[in-house]
Amino acid sequence: MENTTQRIRCFVAIEIPRFIQNGLAHIQDTLKKQIRQVSWVKSDNIHMTLKFIGEVEQNQLSVIEPAIAQVTQRYPPFALQVGGIGAFPNLKRPRVIWVGVKVGGAEVSALARGINLELNQHGYPFDEGTFHSHLTLARIKNRIDLRPFVDVFRQYNEIENASMTVNEIALVRSQLHPKGAIYTILKSYALAS
């Protein structure tokens, strides 16, 4: 019999197509030569997080999955284009290097808010902070200053072949390992047609 108390670490995300991930990998390779002391995200792990749920018991998926499905029926597919590089919280003391959203940011934010509100009704905490649509390129543990790289980042204000149509979102399992996280799609949800 299946153990329903197994805990799963999960989040809701927009999956990014391989051709965009490959383009971002090329940007990472270029930046790696200039920016040291950062941990670069594996390109096939690059996604757009809408809601980090955290650790849940496996049997809670029976509540989470229909809640996400409910939300996706309220939002039609939309165009998404990424471009521009920045850092959270800022370039002086960065923790994350990211690529932003040029087109579709309002739709991504609305979708994230819808998921947040729906899951909150089922007891999951509402993310109080301001939501920023982004793709994480690197995480930074050591103290570095990225301000000298402003001109380098500016080259990526426009990124070729970085447009897609968002037709679905996914509930993704995250398993942490020393060599990096392993992401597995648990379920995909089509947006309203």
Give the active site residues.
Answer: 47, 134
> How is 21-80 classified by DSSP, letter by letter?
HHHHHHHHHHHHTT--S-EEPPGGG-EEEEEEEEEEEGGGHHHHHHHHHHHHTT---EEE
Strand ranges across the sheet with 163-166: 39-40, 135-139, 96-103, 78-88, 163-166
Q: What is the CA radius of gyration of the chain?
A: 17
